[in-house]
Amino acid sequence: MRTRRTTLTLAAAGVLLLAAACGSPGSGGGDDGGGTSSASAGLSTCEPVAGDQLVVLTDDKGLQNADNVIPAVNAQAATDDPDLVPLLDSVSESLDTSKLIALNKAVDIDRQTAADAAAAYIQDEGLEASDPTAGSGKDVTIGAANFSESSTLAELYAQVLRSAGYTVNVQTIGNRETYLPALQSGEITVVPEYAATLAEFLNTKVNGDGASPVASSDTTETVAALTALGQDAGLTFGAPSDAQDQNAFAVTQEFADEHDVATLSELAETCGGLILAGPPECPERPFCEPGLTDTYGMDITEFQSYDFGLIGDAVRQGKATIGLVLSSDGSLAS
């Protein structure tokens, strides 16, 4: 599993306010594994069930913010070139989380290059531009953050624009603190972004670290807040895709089938004595263990701390009932 966005998802500026606190395997205490019932919840203890396939449980109460993939564009470039954003929007309109998972699997697990995975996707989705001359004589620089999903998304944008006749350069620039000033200045033209994370990044830059969050689980509201903040930052945005890369919680498919659960609410209502696997800071993060207990009333009796890349394996091996994952991780592909 990749660790590409743990700093973006677990430490989104202005949203996750508590400092990280180290956990340790079993730091949540609780059930000793004998397990007939959960004393705190009065629910039957559901032991972990090992299995090869993970399934994300639906966040039906909106614990996580709407981190939809969205093209962020230099505002002046978008004004000067009315063909640019509609071409980027064609990527957004085609993309959902399951397709993003498949793209990440192609690159991170099947070891295709980002360019090859993007080319196959564009062909399968029929995303080649209808007018191959719309961008003739126009140069575009697309920035990518330094993790593979961002590189793949940048290649999607680049290849669609090239099919319209643009001359496109893709640059891997690093983290948001590095590439955002370049996007604002026009040194780069477009960057694939994440709605909630960027909204909170801009929010704290404008209003300070203690600013009230503007992102939520509602995509429309989050993008509206992002758009307003972008206006003063020299940014505009294309359409948000249905694809989201955000914190999510997964169980094995075998566990979900055995207990007939598909949502976090159903898990909380069905099972007690849950063992949660997560990164060391999870017990202090409002989008991690506290969110599960406060928002869902989930009965977590044991927390196990793992490096992010090992959480999924802990759940697959039956060491934990449920684990924190990224919703677009390629290993979630069925």
pLDDT at 4: 41
pLDDT at 41: 53
pLDDT at 42: 78
Task: Kindly report, residue by residue over 167-189, the tens digit of the pLDDT.
Answer: 999 999 989 999 999 999 999 99
**Domains of the chain and any CATH numbers:** 6-63+246-332 (3.40.190.120), 69-237 (3.10.105)
Burial of 195-206, coded b for 16+ CB within 10 Å and e otherwise, reads bbbbbbbbbbbe
pLDDT at 111: 98
Stated as kind and residue range, the H or E segment containing 127 is: none
Regions of the chain with pLDDT less than 50? 1-40
Task: Kindly report, residue by residue over 22-75, the tens digit of the pLDDT.
Answer: 333 233 333 333 333 444 457 999 999 999 999 999 999 999 999 999 999 999
pTM: 0.87
pLDDT at 151: 98
- Beginning with the edge strand found earlier in the chain, give each strand of the sheet holding 54-56 in spatial order: 54-56, 247-252, 322-326, 274-278, 300-305
User: How far is 327 from 334, CA to CA, in rounded Å?
Assistant: 13
What burial class does residue 227 get, using C-beta atoms within 10 Å of its C-beta: 0-12 exposed, 13-18 middle, 19+ buried? middle
